[in-house]
Amino acid sequence: MRLSRYFLPVLKETPAEAQIVSHRYMLRAGMIKQQSAGIYSWLPMGFKVLRKIENIVHEEQMRAGHIPVQMPILQGADLWRESGRYDDYGQEMLRMQDRHGRDLLYTPTAEEMVTDIFRSHVSSYKDLPLTLYQIQWKFRDEIRPRFGVMRGREFYMKDGYNFDLTKEDALHAYNRHLVSYLRTYERMGLQAIPMRADSGPIGGDDTHEFLVLADTGESEVFYDSAVTDLSFGDREIDYDSHEQCAGVLDEFTSKYARTDETHDEALFNAVPEERRRTARGIEVGQIFYFGTKYSEAMGATVQGPDGKPVPVHMGSHGIGVSRLLGAIIEASHDDKGIIWPEGVTPFHCGIVNLKQGDDEADAACDALYKSLISLGLDPLYDDRKERAGGKFATMDLIGLPWRITVGPRGLKNGVVELTCRRTGESEEMPPEQAVAKVAAIYEKHMVRGL
C-alpha cells in the first residue's frame, strides 16, 4: 500500500476522552472512531490488525481440531428461558422485541444457541467429542464503557463450546483449549498467564482467565513470579493426547496465579517471599468447564454405549479478539507510539522516501516496494510529499516493526537504512540485503502444519 492512497486519519493531538495508552494511540493512529459510548467504527488499519488477530485465532483453533460455525447476533429469548438465564443475566443484556412482539436479545454469549444446534443434530455418543466455535460480534450493555476497545459495549469475540460424553473427556477439552490459547497469545507476541478465576454468570467450577500484565488492567492479580519464566515456544503437542495436554496444564497452572476474586492469602504466603508479586492484569480470554448445567436444562442428550440417554458434558471458551488490540498496545508501546509484534502488525515494513520527487530515490523505493510484495510481504510506502520528520513521526506512531529509509545520500553509497522500531537500532546495507533480512524475520511467522 502507498500511503498517498491509503485512508489513515492520523491525529496530532490526543482526544480528551482517551484515558489509557491503547485508547489514545488507537485514536491517534486512525484505527478506530467512536460512534457512541463503547461502540466504534474500525478504520482500515485497525480493521487490518483485527483481521490478523482473528486469523491467528482461527488457525490455532483448527490446529486443535475445533470446527468453525457462524451463529446469528440476535437470539430468541425462549432459549434463555429454557436455561434459566434470561432473567438472571442482568441489565448487561440488551433485550428487544420484533414487530410481532417476540422477545429477542443481542448476543452476549451463545451457550444456549449452540446447545440448541447440538441437540437438534447429534444423538449418539459416536459423534463425540465435538467442539464448535465462532468469531462473532457480541454486545453487553456496560454501565460505564471506557478505555476504548478494552471495555466497550460492542466487541468481537471468539467463543467455543465443547460437547463430550464424560467429565474426563470434557476436562481434556478444557486442557486442549488451554494449550491452544497459549499458542495463540504467544504468536501475537503476548505472555498471557492462565489464572484461577471466578466463573461469573457462565457458571461452572473449573475456570481459568488468561491475563496480560499491564498497569491499566482491570483486575488485581497475585502470582508467583516463576510463572513469567514459562513459555510454550515451538513445541509440538498431540491434541488427542490426554497426557500431553494435561502436562501443559500442570506446567502452566501449578504455580500460584489468581485474580482478586479467587485470591487465597494463605496459599499466596506459601510462595517464597522474593517471588510474590501483586500487579494489574488485562483479561484476554477465559476457559470454563460447567458439566451438564446447560445440557440437562435444555435436553441435550446422546444415546450412550448402553443405549440410555446421557446428558453431555460441556465447556465454553472465549478469546476477546477486539480487546486483544488494546492489550497488545498496552503491553507494547513507548512515548512515540505503538510497537506492533511481528505476528499482528498491519504492515510488515514501512518504506520512507526522504526526497520524494528525486528520480533515483523514487526508483529505489519502487524497487524495494515491488521486491517485498513479490516475497509475499505487505509493505507500507510513505510516498507523500511530506517532510522527513513528519514521515518518521507517523511511522513511529503506527508502530510498524521495521522501517527502510531511502535517501539520496545513502543511495550514492549503495545503501539504505533498516531500523528496528522496538530497539531503535539502525543498520545501513544494500537494498537487496534489507529486503532479504525483512523476509527472513517474517519467515518464522508463517503458519505450518495446519
Residue 320: its H or E element? strand 313-320
CA 70 to chain centre: 18
Could you tell me the three cell numbers for 246?
A: 494435561
Q: Which CATH class is domain 349-443?
A: alpha beta
Other CB atoms within 10 A of residue 245 CB: 24
| pLDDT for the residue 450 | 43
CA nearest neighbour of 406 among 434, 378, 371, 441? 434
C-beta separation of 150 from 23 below 8 A? yes
The β-bridge partners of 158 are 135, 319
Looking at domain 3-338, what is its CATH homologous superfamily? Answer: Bira Bifunctional Protein; Domain 2 (3.30.930.10)
pLDDT by residue for the chain (450 residues), tens digit each?
999 999 999 998 888 888 899 999 999 999 999 999 999 999 999 999 999 999 999 999 999 999 999 999 999 999 999 998 998 888 899 999 999 999 999 999 999 999 999 999 999 999 999 999 999 999 999 888 888 998 899 999 999 999 999 999 999 999 999 999 999 999 999 999 999 877 554 444 588 999 999 888 888 999 999 999 999 999 999 999 999 999 999 999 999 999 998 999 999 999 999 999 999 999 999 999 989 998 999 999 999 999 999 999 999 999 999 999 999 999 999 999 999 999 999 999 999 999 999 999 999 999 999 999 999 999 999 999 999 999 999 999 999 999 999 999 999 999 999 999 999 999 999 999 999 999 999 988 765 444
- Residue 208 has φ and ψ, to the nearest 5°, of -130, 140
Per DSSP bridges, beta strands 313-320 and 379-382 are unpaired
Domain boundaries, the chain: 3-338, 349-443
Answer yes or no: are the C-beta atoms of 343 and 389 closer than 8 Å: no
The pLDDT value recorded for residue 199 is 56
Q: What's the one-letter identity of residue 201?
A: P
- Classify each residue of 146-165 as buried b or exposed e, where b means 16 or more C-beta atoms within 10 Å of its C-beta: bbbbbbbbbbbbbbbbbbbb
Do residues 103 and 316 make contact, with C-beta atoms less than 8 angstroms apart?
A: no
Q: From CA 288, how far away is CA 283, in angstroms rounded?
A: 14
10 Å CB burial of residue 406 (0-12, 13-18, 19+) is buried
CB 378 within 8 A of CB 55: no
Spatial CB neighbours of 121, under 8 Å, sequence gap ≥ 6: none
Task: Read off the C-alpha cell for 357.
Answer: 520527487
**Distances in whole angstroms, Cα of residue 52 to Cα of each of 95, 118, 225, 347:** 32, 30, 30, 10
DSSP states of 367-380 as a string?
A: HHHHHHHHTT--EE
Closest C-alpha among 416, 409, 407 to residue 437: 416
Q: CA 21, CA 329: separation in Å to the nearest integer? A: 7
- The two beta strands, 379-382 and 349-353, are parallel
Under a CB-based contact definition with an 8 Å cutoff, are residues 418 and 438 in contact?
A: yes
Distance CA 161, CA 290 (A): 11
Return the DSSP state at 112: H
Q: Model-level pTM greater than 0.85? A: yes
- Please tell me the distance from the alpha carbon of residue 39 to that of residue 23, in angstroms, as a whole number: 13
Instruction: Please name the amino acid found at residue 186.
Output: E
127 closest CA partner among 167, 165, 159, 70: 165
